[in-house]
Structure formats: structure tokens, C-alpha cells
Structure 1
Amino acid sequence: MNSLNPHHVARSVSNLEETIQWYQEKLGFTATLRRELPQFSTRQAFLELNGFRIEVFERENSARTYPSPVNVPDDLLAQGYKHIAFAVNDIDAIATELKQRNVEIALEPVADEELGFTVCFIKDNSGNLIELVQELNTL
């Protein structure tokens, strides 16, 4: 088990091209692979940033299993995978830059002394939550 290392997270989306464009323009990801999987009526892409990969699928007739959360606490009403989290060095500066890029902020930066970090949540083009985390000792 010592060889377990994070490789990627996967998301199913309604529009592959819009999702690729959003992650490239808003967060700086690069599309490293695009392909058709006709046997599954699916298109696939890998996006990468700083060694982290997001695998994105668009399948014909797919549907969201639960609605996009209205706010961060409401997301906890649906069980299952919740969000991607990225460590950042300056959460306030990144939140400001993301607002300038018209990214929806779901939760403004807030410090959690007990956890030892500041968090901020944004939503991608499909309404999926993305958490930004800054350790309090780097503020």
C-alpha cells in the first residue's frame, strides 16, 4: 500500500468542450488528451495542472444524479464525492483574480482555526464545487 499516490479525479459533464475551456481559461489547466469512445457513446479528456489530472467524460443522455448545490452546506445533503481541493499560497489574491475571471464564488475565504486553514469554494461551469485551501501559518 505504500505505493498509493493520487493520480486523477474524474467528472462526468454535459458539455466536454465548455468544461475544457472553463478549466483552461479560469484555472490554467491544459488538455493533455482528447478522444472518442464510440463504444460507450462517450467523449473523454484529461486536463492537467501542476501534476494534478482531472478526467472529464461527456456521455450521450447522461444526467446529473442530484442538483448542483445552492451553497456549500447544502452540498452535504447529497452523499458521495463532494469536491476537488487545491492548496494555494495566497487565497485572497486568488479569490480576487477568479472574480475578475467571472468565476462564481460559492463561499468567500473564511479561516477555520480548528482545521488550521482558510477555505474558499468556487463553482465550475457545471456547478461542481472546487475548494481552495491555504494553511493558516502561511497567511
Structure 2
Amino acid sequence: MLSQAQNTPPNDLTPYFNAIIVSNMDSSLVWYQQTLGYEILNSKQFPEMGFKQANLKKENASIELIELNSAIDPKELIPNYHSKTKVLGLFKLGFQVDDFDLWIKYLEINQVNFNGRIVTDELTGKRMVIILDPDGNRIQLFER
């Protein structure tokens, strides 16, 4: 029970998962499995409801992929849509990696799409880069 004096949130909030709407479940499953090394825990189809859903996991990071027949691509709605156009909602996922150079080589060899170039964070002095999944969702890799 919360007292009136308690004005800070409880401290047991732990990251659990992120959910991403994708346009093609099959290609997204392959990409997240092969590119980032996620394990597919389950995959379900609900044709009568117009959606597919899958849960993936890599160590402590879980992702739920959702394919919805009713999902709308911003390119279809926004006149003169450009890849730099921002829409409200999830902007990117972030991961830390131990061997940044090895990841960059791996991503280049596997022809993963980069969004911009490698930059160095002014606060930490660590490098980072953004890659794109098959739907253009941003995934940022940070040097640990």
C-alpha cells in the first residue's frame, strides 16, 4: 500500500521485453535469428484475427515480433515521407557489445544496412552505430 509520503516509484522495475511490429514475420524471424543471434522461443499465427506473433530471446534480452494485417506503414500515410521523418513511438533498441570492431566486420560481411556512420559518444568516449532491421527499425550498438 502506498503512503501519501511515498513520491518515488518502487525500485523493482526490470527490463523484460520490447515488442516490434514487422511487415513480414518470416523474414524478420530469419533476420533477428541470423543477424543478432536471437533464439525463437515460439511463433503463433492467428489468421482469423489478422496477426502473427513470435517471442525471441538472447540472454536477458527478449523481443516480441508482431505482424498485423491492420498495421500501417508511415510511407503510405505521410506525404513526401523521408527516412529521416520521425513518428511518435519506439525510436530504437539499444544493445551493448564487448567487441565493437568484430561486430562491425560481421555486420559488413553480412551486408546489414547501416543508418549513418560510426560515431563516438562525447560523454563516454565509446563508439556506437545504428543498423536497420528489414522494416527499417533502428537498432543501436554501443561499445561496452
Considering the TM-score relative to the shorter chain, is it more than 0.5? yes
**Does the 8 Å contact 1:119/1:133 carry over to 2?**
yes
Query: What do residues 57-102 of structure 1 show as CA deviations (whole Å, max 9, x unaligned)?
Result: 11113212468863xxx35x33322000000112222011111111
Cα-Cα RMSD:
2.0
Tell me which of 87, 97, 101 is aligned to 2:106.
Answer: 97
**Does the 8 Å contact 2:50/2:70 carry over to 1?**
no
Question: How much does 1:27 deviate?
Answer: 1.1
Structure 2: give runs of 5+ residues left out of the alignment: 1-9
Q: Which has the higher helix share?
A: 1
Select between 120-129 and 33-42 the one with higher mean Cα deviation: 33-42
Cα 1:80/1:62, change in 2 over 3 Å: closer
What is the percentage of aligned positions where both structures have the same residue? 27
Structure 1: give runs of 5+ residues left out of the alignment: none
Taking the aligned partners of 1:58 and 1:119, their CA distance within structure 2 comes to 29
Q: TM-score, normalised by structure 2?
A: 0.80
Q: TM-score, normalised by structure 1?
A: 0.83
Q: Which has the higher strand share?
A: 1
1:85 alignment partner in structure 2: 94
Q: Which structure has the bigger radius of gyration?
A: 2
Taking the aligned partners of 1:42 and 1:78, their CA distance within structure 2 comes to 22
